C-alpha cells in the first residue's frame, strides 16, 4: 500500500479543480517589500501612514490631531466633517499619487512567487491599493512562456486597475475596453471609514460578488497579512456569508500568514476555522503555496483525504527570473497535458 508521495508524483498530478482563495492585506505588501519598493519608497501601515506619506503638515494646518493615531481614525474624522471636504480631497489625491508612484523591484519578489504558485482556477483577493500584485502578474504573465496565472480581485480598488462602466469590464489603467474601445477609468479607492457600503460602487460591488462565488467553492483559504480591522467589519461579514457555516466545512483548510500570535489570529479568524483545520505561519515561504506551488490542492488531497506522507516541493526563492520561469515551466507542461 502506498503511504508516501514524492514531490515528482505531486507535480505529475492534476486532480483539484476547486479554487484556492488568497486574501491579501497591507501586511503582505509590507512583508514583501521590507526595504521599500524599487526606489526605496516604504509601504505604510495604518499606524505609520501619516509619517510615511508625509501628511503631518497638511493635517497640522487643518488642526487635525494625528500623533499616535491610526490613519483609519483620522480619515474617518475628516470624512464625517462636511467642513473638511477640501482637506479630504487633497488627502485622497496625495494618497493616490503616492501609491501610484510605487514600482516593484527588478528581482523576483514574494508577489512574483505568489502569482506563479497559483493556477488559473485560483484567486488572489487584495485589500491593497498598491500596484505590486498587478505588476507581478503582468511581468510573469507576459514573459512569453504562456503561464496561466490566478485571477485578481480588488476589494478596495487599486491604483493600476480601471473599469468600463458601460460594458462592466475590468482592466489595466491605460488600456481600452475590448467591447467599446474606450479607455478604462480609474477604479475608486475605498478609504477606511467606520461603515463601508460595498454596494455603492459598481466596480467594487462586482469584485465582492465574484469573490463570494469563489469562496463558496474554495477548498482552502489563505489569509496573508490581513488584520481584519474594525473598519472592515462589513467586509468580514461578506466573507463569512460566502464561507458559510464553518461546521459544514469539515474538510476545508484555513491558512494564516501573519506575524501576530497564534492565539490572536485564531480568535480573529475563528468564524472560518473548523476545529483544528488551520495553520499559522509567520513567513510566506513556510506556507502551502510556497511549498506546493501550483499543486496546493493536490497536496491537500494527498495529505488530508488520502492520508499520505508528502514531500515539499518549494519554489526556488533565490533564483533569478529565467531560472524561476524554467522551473515553473515544468509544472505548467503537466497542466497543459491534463487540460480537457
Whether residue 122 contacts residue 137, with contact meaning beta carbons closer than 8 Å, is answered with no
d(CA 61, CA 64) in angstroms, rounded, equals: 8
State the pairing for strand pair 151-154/123-126.
parallel
pLDDT at res. 82: 92
DSSP structural state of residue 278: E
Q: One digit per residue, pLDDT tens: the chain, 340 residues? A: 568 888 898 999 999 999 999 999 999 999 999 999 999 999 999 899 999 999 999 999 999 999 989 898 999 999 999 999 999 999 999 999 999 999 999 999 999 999 999 999 999 999 999 999 999 999 999 887 889 999 999 999 999 999 998 999 999 988 999 999 999 999 989 888 766 777 778 999 999 999 999 989 999 899 999 877 766 777 778 888 877 777 777 777 889 999 888 888 888 878 777 667 788 999 999 999 999 999 999 999 999 888 889 999 999 999 999 999 999 999 999 999 987 6
Query: How many contiguous H segments (helices) and E segments (strands) does the chain have?
Result: 14, 11
Beta partners for residue 163, in sequence order: 170, 185
Supply 185's cell numbers: 477609468
DSSP structural state of residue 120: T
Residue 154 to residues 43, 111, 130, 291, Cα–Cα distance (Å): 18, 15, 11, 26
Write down how long the chain is.
340
pLDDT at res. 2: 61
Whether residue 260 contacts residue 284, with contact meaning beta carbons closer than 8 Å, is answered with no
d(CA 112, CA 104) in angstroms, rounded, equals: 10
Supply 4's cell numbers: 508516501
Supply 30's cell numbers: 509590507
- Residue 8: what are its φ and ψ, rounded to 5°? -65, -40
Q: What is the model's pTM?
A: 0.93
Helices (H), ranges, the chain:
7-11, 26-32, 49-53, 56-61, 71-80, 85-100, 110-116, 132-141, 202-216, 233-243, 262-268, 288-291, 296-300, 321-337
State the pairing for strand pair 185-186/161-164.
antiparallel
State the pairing for strand pair 151-154/220-224.
unpaired
Amino acid at each position: 500500500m502506498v503511504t508516501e508521495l514524492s514531490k515528482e508524483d505531486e507535480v505529475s498530478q492534476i486532480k483539484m479543480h476547486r479554487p484556492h482563495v488568497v486574501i491579501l492585506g497591507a501586511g503582505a505588501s509590507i512583508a514583501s517589500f521590507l526595504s521599500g519598493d524599487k526606489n526605496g519608497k516604504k509601504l505604510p501601515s495604518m499606524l505609520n501612514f501619516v509619517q510615511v506619506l508625509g501628511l503631518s503638515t497638511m493635517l497640522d494646518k487643518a488642526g487635525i490631531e494625528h500623533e499616535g493615531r491610526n490613519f483609519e481614525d483620522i480619515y474617518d474624522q475628516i470624512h464625517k466633517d462636511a467642513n473638511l471636504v477640501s482637506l479630504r480631497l487633497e488627502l485622497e489625491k496625495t494618497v493616490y499619487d503616492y501609491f501610484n508612484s510605487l514600482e516593484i523591484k527588478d528581482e523576483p519578489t514574494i508577489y512574483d512567487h505568489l502569482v506563479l504558485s497559483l493556477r488559473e482556477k485560483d484567486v488572489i483577493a487584495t485589500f491593497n491599493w498598491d500596484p505590486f500584485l498587478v505588476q507581478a502578474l503582468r511581468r510573469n504573465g507576459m514573459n512569453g512562456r504562456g503561464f496561466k496565472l490566478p485571477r485578481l480581485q480588488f476589494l478596495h480598488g487599486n491604483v493600476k486597475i480601471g473599469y468600463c462602466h458601460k460594458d462592466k469590464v475590468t482592466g489595466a489603467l491605460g488600456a481600452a475596453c475590448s467591447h467599446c474601445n474606450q479607455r478604462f477609468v480609474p477604479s475608486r479607492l475605498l478609504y477606511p471609514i467606520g461603515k463601508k457600503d460595498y454596494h455603492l460602487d459598481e466596480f467594487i460591488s462586482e469584485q465582492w460578488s465574484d469573490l463570494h462565488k469563489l469562496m463558496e467553492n474554495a477548498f482552502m483559504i489563505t489569509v496573508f497579512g490581513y488584520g481584519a480591522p474594525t473598519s472592515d467589519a462589513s467586509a468580514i461579514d461578506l466573507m463569512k456569508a460566502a464561507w458559510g457555516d464553518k461546521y459544514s466545512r469539515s474538510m476545508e483548510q484555513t491558512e494564516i500568514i501573519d506575524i501576530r500570535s497564534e492565539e490572536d489570529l485564531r480568535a480573529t479568524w475563528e468564524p472560518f476555522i473548523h476545529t483544528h483545520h488551520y495553520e499559522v505561519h509567520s513567513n510566506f515561504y513556510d506556507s502551502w503555496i510556497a511549498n506546493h506551488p501550483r499543486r496546493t490542492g493536490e497536496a491537500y488531497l494527498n495529505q488530508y483525504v488520502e492520508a499520505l506522507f508528502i514531500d515539499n516541493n518549494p519554489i526556488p526563492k533565490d533564483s533569478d527570473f529565467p531560472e524561476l520561469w524554467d522551473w515553473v515551466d515544468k509544472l505548467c507542461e503537466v497542466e497543459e497535458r491534463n487540460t480537457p
